[in-house]
A and B are shown apart, each in its own frame.
Chain A
């Protein structure tokens, strides 16, 4: 089978693959939710103009679909709770984390965020564990046109009952202030670029916020719901100032399910239930005892010793480690829940350095890369991935799609891929004596470097390894001083991450990849709101990347594991910490030993 024939077949099969995705519940709800905030027509990819002409009607239909979905979900949850003996109120959850010490969601950066704020503050909308835009303090936005959106704030949302807010109502003015604050021109406010295309957030009346964009930018609604888009009040900011909001935990007063009761830095934070939380009946727990334990071995030890109810196992959780925990704590003491996340590893190829300037060389390496073997020996707890993580539903491709593609296939098909790789290498005429060593993140693991080397040798491509420590690896990538380096992939919630990674001007285009056709696709992706249209566009982009360009070798998205006690009920896999807290709101204890 030639590569050309394969891709032709794949294109002709696009509709069936899309149908398959549409059939999945997550993608279905995602399509409904995102189409609601956009103006796409799920059933007619060819008529975007018409779709934009009737946004309100579509929004109503989609709202009904979402409501129906929510009712079904609520019924399923109720049934599950009934089966488990009914939901139980009460109890403090003991969890472990690493103290951030920064309490302002608008200023937070790289690990500084205090995990407690995700429970204390809340979202206007948020992305649920299926990456679906979901209503929170406001209903899903009404799309007036591609530049104007209206958010209706729910009338029963109140700030926590602490001065200076004293339990007053959360209003559209609060939401407008919160978002405007994120976008202010102050270098401390790290998310300002997310809102650079917003002309104004304004309160139309007490419960209605109007958002006016300066240009079409479809990732905006995702950004407004992404991790970190938590609402801080004007009252506190005006009275105490931004610096105090950042550093003083007593000023962390939000609308979230938990109130921050006390904090001893680097030791413990206690959260207690917010009795005025706007979601009826939630949360079930009375509170949280969060112990700040920076070392993973100590967290696991405390879990095994019975001090913790819930523990994030190591981010790059080795399966062996999880098995050890289960063995030590006893199989009846751990429920291990793998959490696929939009964060992983990829091999960045420098497209301006020989011999990688030739796309045929890069594609040959892509075809030679043995993804299952790499994931197995390197981390053991990852999933094979493509350019967009599967968790970024419905845009990411899952294993069932990927394993049919060249470079991802196994068995005889892999042999074909290797043969094709050799042909491409021969055709490129590269100089085997002029291959610079590839850089490997030695502090993390060097096994995958050796395996990559072995993979490449299967197509007679010889490359040496240069091990770098973490700091040097990051510096090499940041300064574009590498030939081929394996490092982390940025977390994201929107397929627009490809713009950042691979657009000629992309902020994390470390390998200096540039292709005008793909640039145009990435730019177009920012102006399209319809989910199906966007999906088709990003499918096209991913196809081109994997078929022709291969500026990175995508092979791993992480699968960290949560361990929790069997008496903690209702937990579901979540793709990130924000989602974890949302899910935990609806968890409860059942039969916890006293």
Chain B
């Protein structure tokens, strides 16, 4: 296993490097530019080609793309994430301030997502073709179909219309006022978790149904074990491999979801930072953001792969 982990860790920088090339190139394909935005801010009609050239030189956009990339990646690997083109703030400082907020949201999302997804899936499988199974299937499909930006807006609007309620202002950090912070974060976390939980529930149900039909489950029942013991100790563990894979993927969907959820609920995290930066063509921020979360995703996948051995002793890492 050590050799396997070592090999995977060796591959990590290469993956991140390839990812960085992809991110850098992709961002430059996005139409619109900070140069045009700056030129249009000046007095109408007076900006000319010289002004454009000066701005391009100022932002380093006058150099060939591969040189721009080498300069940028060299800077990042030396620990300097750069500064925002828009606000001149250090990107590292901004990440340091916002990352805990997004991590809190992700943790809360996971805390809702995993029990809700697995719980409903298992319950639905155990109660196959009964009313509660049909209800759960209906609800999971419903939440699969609802985009979370719409759900988030509904969650804002419905309590408002029914009870004139809106989340309290302003946002409180967890370490300043945990109670108020929880009130503010729980609804966004539920919104972020629901669609993922619906997927997890569907997969958990089908996996559980398959496992419940295995001989060893029948044997367990025949031994006289209680249904609860059979399901939780014998069946559930054998459904976990695909579920763990899905839970690993929720990191990616959670991060993507945070972009929308943080924007709608005004949570000052990484997702909102990305939206602001995208809207203002703040490329240094967008590049670093995508690189860091891409690298984190690669790491999470490694952890998921390693965790398979915990659930299935037959798996050997070679």
Contact = CB atoms under 8 A, between A and B. Distances in A.
28 contacts: A94-B169, A101-B276, A110-B38, A187-B55, A193-B47, A194-B43, A196-B46, A223-B43, A265-B94, A266-B171, A266-B266, A267-B170, A268-B169, A268-B170, A291-B170, A291-B266, A293-B266, A297-B157, A298-B156, A301-B157, A301-B166, A302-B166, A304-B164, A328-B164, A471-B31, A490-B40, A496-B45, A500-B45
B315 interface: no
Interface in A446-502: 471-472, 474-475, 478, 490, 492, 496-497, 499-501
Nearest to A295: B264
Nearest to B45: A500
A305 B55 contact: no
Interface stretch (A436-444, A504-512, A552-560): A504-512
Contacts of A110: 37-38, 40-41, 280-281
A474 B32 contact: yes
Contacts of A193: 42-43, 46-47, 51
A579 interface: no
Contacts of B266: 266-267, 291-295, 298
A70 interface: no
Given A196-B46, A265-B268, 4 more contacts: A192-B42, A196-B43, A292-B266, A328-B161
Interface in A178-195: 187-188, 190-194
Nearest to A305: B166
A475 B28 CA distance: 13
A111 B86 CA distance: 9
A243 interface: yes
B36 interface: yes
B3 interface: no
A101 B89 contact: yes
A48 to B, nearest CB: 23
A206 interface: no
B39 interface: yes
A426 interface: no
Nearest to B266: A293
B92 to A, nearest CB: 13
A568 interface: no
Contacts of B281: 110
Kindly list the 3 A-B residue pairs having the minimum CB-CB distance in the complex, ordered from nearest. A500-B44, A475-B31, A266-B268
Given A267-B171, A328-B161, A490-B44, A507 B39 contact: yes
B279 interface: yes
Interface in B277-294: 279-281
Nearest to A243: B88
B176 to A, nearest CB: 10
A298 B47 contact: no
Interface in B246-299: 263-266, 268, 272-273, 275-276, 279-281
A507 B171 CA distance: 42
Contact of A112 (B58, B86, B169, B170): B86
B144 to A, nearest CB: 23
Contacts of A13: none
Given A187-B55, A193-B47, A294 B166 contact: no
A491 to B, nearest CB: 10
A298 B279 CA distance: 19
A496 B268 contact: no
B30 interface: yes
A305 B160 contact: yes
Interface residues of A, number: 61
B118 to A, nearest CB: 32
Contacts of A304: 160, 164, 166
B268 A267 contact: yes
Interface string B156-188: 110011001110111100000000000000000
A293 B275 CA distance: 13
A194 B44 CA distance: 8
A508 B44 contact: yes
Most central of A291, A301, A474, A500 by chain B CB within 10 Å: A301
A307 interface: yes
Contact of B89 (A247, A295, A297): A247
B93 to A, nearest CB: 9
B87 A101 contact: yes
B8 interface: no
A265 B164 CA distance: 27
A109 interface: yes
Contact of A190 (B41, B170, B264): B41
Contact of B86 (A101, A291, A294, A306): A101
A503 interface: yes
A243 B51 CA distance: 21
A187 B88 contact: no
A507 B37 contact: no
Nearest to A191: B42
Interface in A289-348: 289, 291-295, 297-298, 301-302, 304-307, 328
A475 B41 contact: no
B31 A266 contact: no
A550 interface: no
Given A101-B87, A247-B87, A305-B165, A507 B280 contact: no
B272 A294 contact: yes
Most central of A108, A289, A298 by chain B CB within 10 Å: A298
A109 B266 CA distance: 22
Contacts of A265: 94, 97, 268
A471 B279 CA distance: 10
Interface string B228-257: 000000000000000000000000000000
B54 interface: yes
Contacts of A354: none
B153 interface: yes
A387 to B, nearest CB: 13
A220 to B, nearest CB: 9
Contacts of B263: 294-295
A527 to B, nearest CB: 14
A219 interface: yes
A190 B86 CA distance: 12
B47 A507 contact: yes
A292 B30 CA distance: 27
B44 A246 contact: no
Contacts of B94: 265
A264 interface: yes
Contacts of A328: 160-161, 164
Given A109-B41, A304-B166, A298 B272 contact: no
Nearest to A107: B88
A102 interface: yes
A497 B164 contact: no
Contact of B153 (A111, A297, A497): A297
B164 A305 contact: yes
Contacts of A472: 31
Contacts of A475: 31-32
Contacts of B169: 94, 268, 291, 302, 307
B164 A298 contact: no
Contacts of A111: 279-280
Interface string A166-204: 000000000000000000000110111110100000000
Contact of A298 (B32, B34, B57, B264): B264
A301 B40 contact: no
A499 B55 contact: no
Interface in B23-81: 30-32, 34, 36-47, 51, 54-55, 57-58
Contacts of A497: 44
B37 A109 contact: yes
Contacts of B156: 295, 297-298, 301
Contact of B88 (A246, A289, A302, A492): A246
